[in-house]
Structure 1
């Protein structure tokens, strides 16, 4: 038996996105294996094509060596002249066809067709950006060090491969595109450090410097932004913006603080969402705030709920977590077999979760809700009906007027920010 938490969330169906649900990402593992197979087949086909070209090249070398040994008289022989002309016309056309017959288009089409047949979704730019932002959200929530995270280290343990300079750069660029200069600054600095040990570097230093300099400026580090921009202008003299940006930063400083050691970097996290509970809920996630106040600890208890006819036969385990406000946990309310049925029914129905715009009333996607949801009607399957009746028994809530059973699948850095779970009419 398992424990399930019952929550009521306002949601509706929307377009699918890969980064918003782990279920879709799991399907991608098989797709990546298929891509690897196709690449291997393409390499084998190209190797055969290049072997044909090599054979023609060897024949040309051999024949040309013989012709040079004979001298100019070689072409006075009508048979030799015919063969020379043939080699440079019909045979050369074969060579041209072999050189032009790169099978890349065919193999790429195979990958596309396989994707359509298998209905496996491939990620897009939004998924890449969403995956990067997920890393930043987890970094903030659990106070993870940027360098450690880029080296696959979390909590002192090696949990993944290292990110390359370019991998790290892309995370920083995703932050930049969100106008999140706090994270962009940290990740671009790590990217700059990483390429120092890469040969060749996976991303150009000039690319990193422009993003890093502007992020430094946005965080109030104008002198450091100027210093990096001068370096950018030096290593990339044809850069379209570097010289203009140098003058822009110099004009901004107006000759002040232009000499001496550079001041320490200031990089303060700025919140744009206005969620006053953010620090508290992040601290809860880290386990820094106990869920139960000390004054309630001696009063909390567990008991068997038997106040309904069915519960007298199959009582429900209840744990009181706190009294003000009252929060209880119902335990062992759903079996493994029921869970598998619900997952099977929900998977094809999963759609990206939406929220209601407080001004327009329209349903829309939001960065503060990263998940996919499915709604299951009670008459869809006997298991759903049985679970609904069980929920009514142990909560005392009337399921006839409630929302349908909701199944949520959270994606990369999946979350739902603190919010009021009711509709407000302006």
Structure 2
């Protein structure tokens, strides 16, 4: 569910129904509780008669009758009046929303999405916690930030995100989130203890029982967070800090065997380090972006709009109206921006489809959506590398699809009939949706399409929606960042003119921060285009 924003959008309507259903239940429950409260008060008053008077309640025939009646039927009816509606509510919840609700896996991957956005866009954790997504960049003049104080994360949420980083061996970020979680818990402890102290003093309680009663669950959460933090610091080689954290955890539960063993282990390692200086930093790489991977570092920098082509390269780039000499385009030439002239050739065409056409394509795709995978036709797997859902549309599925395919042929000058292209691939990215650096062409070993259709020669990518922030298409080798431009089409060549794969066509879809990103890909193959894009004079052209 997390892999498609269109599916996540449906959850809003689900929760709206749940809110209304719960409000209706609470309204009725207040009435039932009021009735129960009146019943309890009556029973209490009659019981007081036995205490205040020498004669027991049961010695009076009316009193005895009322007592027996209450215990034989009234109590049961009132308990049922509270319990049964709750059972009905739970049963209705399970029956009406079965299959419509996200799973625990969706929640876990949603936490990973926040970690991914933090990593790629170098977001401040405290801003994320307070609901602010400050990017310092924008798309289509739409501010790249959104302040949502109502979306503030609670301590349990922060801890859940920290555990997500921990489980992926991303100890560096786990430490950051765990520290924030613990700091928030301790700040809330100070506030709550002060309030509870005042409350207990007002109640005349000097034992502190009122203060302690409300903190058991929070202390358990803090204890768990300290354990995670201690181990994460240990895995990074921060032995002294890890020892201090485990000692702090031990103060909450001195008899916890695992914590005591960890303290002893760390003390031995620290003594050994002091003697021999053999402290090893065992930090694991982040699962979606290894810090040692230059390709990923450049990819993330491009997503942040930090890199641009060299000035001498930019000086040769042009914007123009293009018709390709085609009579269909002579009266309405297309606004074109050349982003890279060679290796790879990258061109952005503006307004290649209408809003209505884009919506039709999205509507046709929705019933066919399935989780995107990576690999080839022989071995495809789901992966965090690609977070989206997709569908395939044939030209016969709708007149709009056929019309758009023909238009792509006019714009590119290439053969885009069904015998030379793949079906139109439509994608909707999910929460933090991305597609890490990859090539569209297939290697000789993969051989998916055979000799007649040939390899993917060109990619024509259309943006079917806007996004508020993130979601750019980037080319790490060419240093090109293409922001999402609704209704625009991006053309780049996957192969050299010799037919060899152009390694410089490496590209990626940056994580979407705010918004729902829809795109459509049309892959144009070699077959049928032998004389449209002819070979050059050398293998490297």
TM (norm. structure 2) is 0.67
For 2:354, the equivalent position in structure 1 comes to 335
Quote the offset at 1:232 in angstroms. 0.8
Give the corresponding residue for 1:107: 89
2:14 corresponds to 1:31: yes
SS at match of 2:123: coil
1:13-412 equivalences under 5 Å are 18-67=1-50, 71-72=54-55, 75=58, 78=61, 80-98=63-81, 101-115=83-97, 121-153=100-132, 154-155=134-135, 159-161=147-149, 162-199=152-189, 200=192, 204-254=221-271, 256-257=273-274, 271-272=289-290, 275-290=293-308, 292-301=309-318, 302-325=320-343, 326-356=345-375, 361-399=378-416, 400=418, 401-412=420-431
Whether contact under 8 Å (2:116, 2:432) holds in the other structure is: yes
> Cα–Cα, structure 1 residues 296 and 142, in superposed 2: closer, same or farther, change >3 Å?
same
Contact residue 305 and residue 317 of structure 1 kept, 8 A: no
Q: 1:423 aligns with which of 442, 445, 449?
A: 442
Task: Find the counterpart in structure 1 of residue 515 from structure 2.
Answer: none
Q: How big is each residue's C-alpha offset from its partner over 1:265-309, in whole Å with a ceiling of 9 and x where there is no partner? A: 99896555975411111111111111x331133322223223233
Q: Is the 8 A contact 1:19 1:130 kept in 2?
A: yes
Say whether the 8 Å CA contact 1:306–1:316 is kept in structure 2: no
CA distance in 2, matches of 1:76, 1:181: 72
Residue 538 of structure 2: aligned partner? none
Secondary structure (helix, strand or coil) at the match of 1:245 reads helix
Contact 2:285 2:291 in 1 (8 A): no
Paired with 2:397 and 2:292, the residues of 1 have a C-alpha distance of 41
Stretches of structure 2 that go unaligned for 5 or more consecutive residues are 137-144, 193-214, 447-541
Cα distance 1:300–1:82, how it changes in 2: closer, same or farther (>3 A)? closer
Of structures 1 and 2, the one scoring higher in RCO (CA 8 A, sep 6+) is 1
Which moved further from structure 2: 200-209 or 183-192?
A: 200-209
Q: For 1:385 and 1:307, how far apart are their aligned partners in 2? A: 22
Q: Pick which of 177-186 and 238-247 moved more.
A: 238-247
C-alpha distance in 2 between matches for 1:24 and 1:164: 25
Q: Distance in 2 between matches of 1:83 and 1:138?
A: 66
Contact residue 365 and residue 426 of structure 2 kept, 8 A: yes
Does the aligned pair in 1 maintain the 2:226–2:246 contact within 8 Å?
yes
Please give the alpha-carbon distance, in whole angstroms, between the structure 1 residues aligned to 2:181 and 2:397: 51
Cα distance in 1, alignment partners of residues 66 and 314 from structure 2: 99
1:89 aligns to what SS in structure 2? helix
Sort the Cα spacing of 1:275 and 1:345 in 2 relative to 1 into closer, same or farther, 3 A.
Answer: farther
Distance change (3 Å), C-alpha of 1:412 and 1:72: same
Aligned pair count?
397
User: 2-side partners of 1:155 and 1:57: how far apart?
Assistant: 58
Deviation at 1:21, TM superposition (A): 1.4
SS in 2 for 1:126: helix
Cα shift at 1:320 = 1.2
In the TM superposition, residue 111 of structure 1 has moved relative to its aligned partner by: 2.8
Contact 2:290 2:296 in 1 (8 A): no
The Cα RMSD (Å) is 2.8
- DSSP-derived class of the 1:72 partner: coil
CA positional deviation for 1:189: 0.9
User: For structure 1, which segment, 186-195 or 106-115, has the greater mean C-alpha deviation from structure 2 after superposition?
Assistant: 106-115
Q: CA deviation at 1:213?
A: 0.7
User: Structure 1 or 2: larger helix share?
Assistant: 1
**Would the alpha carbon gap of residues 32 and 95 (structure 1) be closer, same or farther in structure 2, given more than 3 Å must change?**
closer
TM-score (norm 1): 0.84
Displacement of 1:370 in angstroms is 0.6
Alpha-carbon separation, structure 1, partners of 2:58 and 2:2: 68
Name the CA shift for 1:98/1:299 in 2 (closer, same or farther; >3 Å).
closer
Query: What CA distance in whole angstroms lies between the structure 2 residues aligned with 1:74 and 1:125?
Result: 55
For residues 207-257 of structure 1, what are the alpha-carbon distances to aligned partners after superposition, in whole Å with 9 as ceiling and x for unaligned?
A: 111111111111110121111111111212243411111112122223544
Structure 1 residues 395 and 57: alpha-carbon distance in aligned structure 2, compared to 1, 3 A threshold: same
Q: Distance in 2 between matches of 1:195 and 1:303?
A: 60
- Once residues 372 and 421 of structure 2 are traced to their aligned partners in structure 1, the CA distance between those partners, rounded to angstroms, is 19
Question: 1:342 Cα shift?
Answer: 1.0
Q: Structure 2: how far apart are the matches of 1:48 and 1:389?
A: 65
1:298/1:93 CA distance change after superposition, 3 Å = closer
